[in-house]
Structure 1
Amino acid sequence: MPSSLKLDAFLPYRLSIASNAVSDAVATAYRTLFGLRIPEWRLITVLAEDGPMSQQALCGRTRMDKVTVSRAAIALADRGLIARAANPGDQRSHLIALSDAGWTLYEQIAPKAIDLEKRIFEGFSDLERTQLHAMLERLEAAAAALDPGPAARA
């Protein structure tokens, strides 16, 4: 039975393709320059921006599943880039924070990330970048409104 769905015109598919293309370019740069995978880079950046947090909080903040966050945290801990400490608010979990080496790496990566973003969006006007940012926020909110959340899925 023929479908009227055309992937190249289906916006969720196009967003995924665009996201993957950008992610692949960024991943190649971070892997080549710093030996990091995207999940590891995300954890470093979130911890730099938001401070110490639990793995569960990292899952929520990065929208990555707990296995991906756990593997990234293990890889970063093995490299001495993060440290774990007892969580005073929940004795069953730990808080993860950047180590001194993690901060040093973040300070090296952040300018490269900003440069990559500039290069990716150099063909866009300031207005187009602002509009894209606003549209992405609206898309995320609309998608969140469709998601019943973990409690409803259980």
Structure 2
Amino acid sequence: MTEHSPREVMLNLFVPYRMVNLASTISNACSKIYKDDFDITIPEWRILARLAEHERLNAKNIGSVTFMDKSKVSRAVKLLEDKGFLLKEKDDKDNRASYLSLTEEGRAIYQKIAPRALDWEKQLISVLDSSEYRDLMRIIEKLDSQVAIMSKE
């Protein structure tokens, strides 16, 4: 192995690279649960899950709570509407704004997928003991907070 200066980026040791690759790998592997049997994309699933959790969200803010860009959200919202899983209501006070919520069909599809997603997650984290799991959650929280602080600087 060759020597590297301390100012060189070695991608396999670079935390942002490792984390984004792990997140992508996990997301793609988990997506088989809802892609294959329910024809739901990753962006659609994120929106379904958030709306199941929050009941009703402002369409403008859905990107920030799902960590997706505006165009990806827009396409996913349209697909969910076309499938009859999503209800879009105009804001009475602001005609440009609207709120999203799940239809009964949307809630039903979410309730079919959620237990499978939780089982998949349980299998994923089964390699961690309870202490490692707690450490992982603590580390994720710390890094999340640090990124927020650094983003404001």
Residue aligned with 1:88, SS: coil
2:125 maps to a residue whose letter is F
Residues 87-126 of structure 1: pairs in structure 2 closer than 5 A: 87-126=91-130
Larger displacement relative to structure 2 (54-63 or 37-46): 54-63
Matching residue within 21, 36, 51 for 1:47: 51
Structure 1 residues 125 and 89 mapped into 2: Cα distance closer, same or farther (>3 Å)?
A: farther
Percent sequence identity over matched residues? 31
Counterparts of 2:102 and 2:26, CA distance in 1: 26
What's 2:22 paired with? 18
Paired residues, number: 149
**Residue deviations 1:94-136, cap 9 Å, x none?**
1111000001001101101100101111111111111111111
> What letter corresponds to residue 78 of structure 1 in structure 2?
D
Q: Distance in 1 between matches of 2:92 and 2:138?
A: 37
The 1-side partners of 2:92 and 2:66 are apart by 23
Q: Report matched runs for 1:50-89 at 5 Å.
A: 50-89=54-93
Equivalent position amino acid for 2:92 in 1:
P
- Partner deviation per Cα, 1:61-84 (whole Å, 9 max, x = no partner): 111111111110000000000011
Aligned-CA RMSD value: 1.8
One-letter amino acid of the counterpart of residue 36, structure 1: I
Report the secondary structure of 2:27's partner residue.
Answer: helix
- How far off is 1:91 after superposition? 2.5
TM-score when scaled to structure 1?
Answer: 0.90
What SS does the corresponding residue of 2:144 show, helix, strand or coil?
A: helix
Would the aligned equivalents of 2:85 and 2:102 in 1 still touch at CA under 8 Å? yes
Q: Aligned pair 1:143/2:147, yes or no?
A: yes
Runs of at least 4 residues off by over 4 Å: none
Q: Distance in 1 between matches of 2:120 and 2:103?
A: 25
Which amino acid is the alignment partner of residue 4 of structure 1? E
What is the rounded CA distance, in whole Å, between the counterparts of 1:33 and 1:144 in structure 2?
Answer: 37
TM-score, reference length from structure 2: 0.90
What is the one-letter code of the residue matched to 1:138?
A: K
Which sections of structure 1, spanning at least 5 residues, go unmatched? 150-154
Q: For 2:65 and 2:41, locate their aligned partners in 1 and report how far apart those are by CA, in whole Å.
A: 17
